[in-house]
Amino acid sequence: MAIPRQQRRRIAAEAQYRCGYCQTQEVVSGIPLTVEHLIPRAEGGSDHDGNLWLSCRLCNEKKGRLLEAPDPATGETVPLFNPRTQAWSEHFTWSEDSARILPKTAIGRATVEVLSLNDELRVRARALWVQAGYHPPA
């Protein structure tokens, strides 16, 4: 079932038109971001606003049905970052050149790892966006 257009607009505005995980801005990517189910439908998640957020296709595909993952530093299973209920800046920061996402917590480490937030292509794209003055988002 597709998310109604009006609901998508509302979610997009709340998310400031950027991916909740990698912070990619919809206008910079040139590709519409997806409305992600934070708790996937396959895991019992609903279509209510409280379970929806914007996600780029790469993050959405990497996350899939996952709700938790191992912290690469400790091996302990931790929840993945929830962009609707958690502040991005509490779990992540930008590298000095703003091209890499640096985790600050176990949740951040697990999320960076599972979603491949610093794969080579993403880092190269962010570096170009930085040069153009479009990144990081305010």
Spell out the domain ranges in the chain. Answer: 5-132
What's the whole-number mean pLDDT along residues 42-55?
96
- Is the pLDDT at 1 greater than 90? The verdict is no
b/e for 5-21, b at 16 or more Cβ within 10 A? eeebeebbeebebbbbb
Determine the pLDDT at residue 19. Answer: 98
Instruction: Tally the residues of the chain.
Output: 138
Q: Which residues contact 56 (CB under 8 A, 6 or more apart)?
A: 19, 21, 22, 24, 29, 31, 33, 34
3-state secondary structure of 54: strand
Q: Which residues contact 80 (CB under 8 A, 6 or more apart)?
A: 63, 66, 67, 68, 69, 107, 110, 111, 114, 115
- Is the pLDDT at 138 greater than 90? The verdict is no
pLDDT digits (tens, 9 = 90+) for 73-116: 999 999 999 999 999 999 999 999 999 999 999 999 999 999 99
Determine the pLDDT at residue 117. Answer: 98
**Dihedral sign, Cα of residue 19, residue 10, residue 84, residue 87:** positive
Mean pLDDT, rounded, of the chain: 96
Distance CA 13, CA 29 (A): 16
